Structure 1
Amino acid sequence: MTLSLSGWQKRALLILAGIAVLALFALAFTAGRVSAGPSYPDNASADAGFARDMQVHHNQAVEMSMIVRDNTSDETLRSIAYDIALTQQQQAGQMYAWLEEWGLGQSSSRPRMEWMAGSSGEHGGMDMGSGSDAASMLTPDGLMPGMATEAQLDELRAARGEDAERLYLTLMISHHEAGVDMAGAGVETAETKQVRTLATKIQSGQQAEITLMQTMLDAL
């Protein structure tokens, strides 16, 4: 038995077929846009760990620099401290903005320094091979390497003149040395170009500041 379709039925089928074809094109286009969208680092990435830990590290450098700027009259050191504070505050702001863009929290329950376990060799004497325990990279006070203790910060707040200068330079050199090590691990392990670029900038900038501060410390 042959099914005979009237004219309007044939037209309706053609319209339905056209709608189906358009729907398939729209679905393919949408899928393509989704797959081509930006891919952000996840919560466990080295990029996120670097952005979080380096922010904390930078924030203490800003705090120490502003303390000594108020506690010494040496204009050269005041200028260096202010430059460190401005630079590290701006870089911390960059890292804060990255985490916001990536939809990640500014803090995490993940251990400090865990992200560095993916780097090769040693940084600052800390073994960061794949078998490393993140806790072993922290100081006995549970701080990241180079971080001043609260007692050291209190001592810096109370110091004046050359005593403040000597203490600041000593603390900041250690702080920068650890920052250089962290930046080196960031260059090795980060997936995004923006993180690797900033890590490289931190590495070279802080190394130059270490040399300058060591010269000043030796002259005191």
Structure 2
Amino acid sequence: MKPVLSDNDRSLLEKRITEAEKITRTQIVLALVGRSDSYAEIPWKAFALGASLTGLLVFSLDLILLTWIQDTTVLISIVTTLAVAAFVVLLTILFPGFARLFLSDSRAETETRQYAESLFLSRELFSTARRTGILLLISRFERKVVIIPDKGLSNLVNQDNLMSIVALMKQPLAKNEFRQAMEIALDELIRIIEPCPSDEEVANELSDKIIEDKGL
């Protein structure tokens, strides 16, 4: 998969991650994935809609023109209906924005969270000494953001904090400005998390390298 973030974006973000980790005394992992699920139902929904609307239109025209009883007309009607339905399916493959029309917001939210939780476990982001890992995942197809803080941060970060961060990220994400969205999230994490002052050096337990993957 061709990287979405440029080398310069990656370099800047990794520096910002290092700075944020020193201030918040946490371990932050940023992830950018193409999509969180294959959504096999989308093509079928598109096909059904295309076939239904085209079938209704063709049937209406046949009634008006009084040609519906002819064998040739019936064959043409069937072929036209299937062709248009297949074309609508093709549109969902070529244009993600069109495909999203067949995806409910709740389903997108659920699948993105499940993907993020799976990534949190598979990458062992829970393995920090004080359980202070934070995963921030952006799923491009769904246009969803999921932030998962480990249990060591339960007293510092609550659900309202996470929702406010996601809300601030919406505007740059709508413009596909992923670096800017991630920078906003890092700034907000610094603002929200207020660890006790300490001279103890923070070990870099998790890689600062940004995870970028096509997803499912």
Q: Same fold (TM over 0.5)?
A: no
TM-score by structure 2 length? 0.24
More helix by share: 1
Q: Which has the higher strand share?
A: 2
Structure with greater contact order relative to length (CA < 8 Å, sep ≥ 6) = 2
